[in-house]
Amino acid sequence: MPILADSIPLTEQENPRTQQISSLSTADIVRLMNDEDAGVAKAVAEVLGDVASAVDQIVKRMQRGGRLFYIGTGTSGRLGVLDASECPPTFGVSPDLVQAVIAGGYDACYRAVEASEDDAAAGARDLEQRGFTKADALVGIAASGRTPYTVGAVEHARRIGALTIAITSVPGSEIVNAAEISIVPLVGPEVIAGSTRLKAGTAQKLILNMLSTATMIRLGYVTGNRMTNVQTRNVKLRARAIRILQSESELDEQQAQTVLDAADGKLPVALVMSQSGRSKEDAEAALDRARGVIAKAIDSLKSG
């Protein structure tokens, strides 16, 4: 007896447009995949209001000293780890500010640990081990919306009063019911039935990009569209920092290099020094008071 499509989640249903994909040429396979992917951005566009609401609530938590946590299993968990790991080098924030929890631990980033996703209590335990509190925000990522590990973590977080956000591709799923804010891009059945690393994973990546980037912009860790808090850990990033310093402070290349050296290679300190005319020590103290927000640090020194 055939299984009715309505009885299984969208993420597990067979895609009628790709039923013959195994018999296609390579060129036709990749063209068909690209056609399917073209709908992902449109699906995300339909939920931008929910993404914006999530960002605004995350910002409020962080302004009161809270942190942002991602939690998930498999591809969803790995995407959370990827986004969280990019925040310190991009925005110059502490690794503690945006954290990712993945079922099975970080070993699951490079090898499958599927069984760990079935433990509904494990997500809550993993959050507790990280010191997660009601002051924090949790984004539960689950393509199917029914992963016990992730749903259990979101339910726990909401019980203790933390902000809870769900990213899923299945409306009305368990994680939607568990979370305060739900972001549900309807990407439809996958090219390969059930392989949610494809369209659902792409949608998750787009949304996570928005959540972290928009949050950091709202918190003041970006100036214009420049990564003014970037960490100069290699030659490429130092060159980028010098260009930013030149543009922001109207310095020539040699002057920018001199100021960056005087700031021990720390771009935010160099920017505050060059635009306030104050010492490295004054700039560092002002940045500490401003929680790393360059514009606030500069204003405080100019008015002080």
Q: Which residues are catalytic?
A: 86, 117
Q: Rounded CA gap, 178 and 210, in Å? A: 22
Count CB atoms within 10 A of the CB of residue 65.
10
Three-class secondary structure of residue 138 per DSSP: strand
Residue 102 Cα to chain centre, angstroms: 14
DSSP state of 4: P
Task: State which amino acid sits at residue 30.
Answer: V
Residue 16 buriedness (CB in 10 A; 0-12 / 13-18 / 19+): exposed
Residue 164 backbone phi and psi in degrees, to 5: -125, 130
Put the strands of the sheet holding 163-167 in their side by side order. Answer: 98-102, 68-72, 137-141, 163-167, 181-183
Furthest C-alpha separation in the chain: 78
Contacts of 294 (CB under 8 A, 6+ apart): 220, 223, 228, 229, 268, 271, 272, 287
Contacts of 137 (CB under 8 A, 6+ apart): 57, 58, 61, 62, 66, 67, 68, 69, 162, 163, 164, 165
Contacts of 256 (CB under 8 A, 6+ apart): 242, 243, 245, 246, 249, 270
DSSP state of 165: E
Contacts of 242 (CB under 8 A, 6+ apart): 253, 256, 257, 260
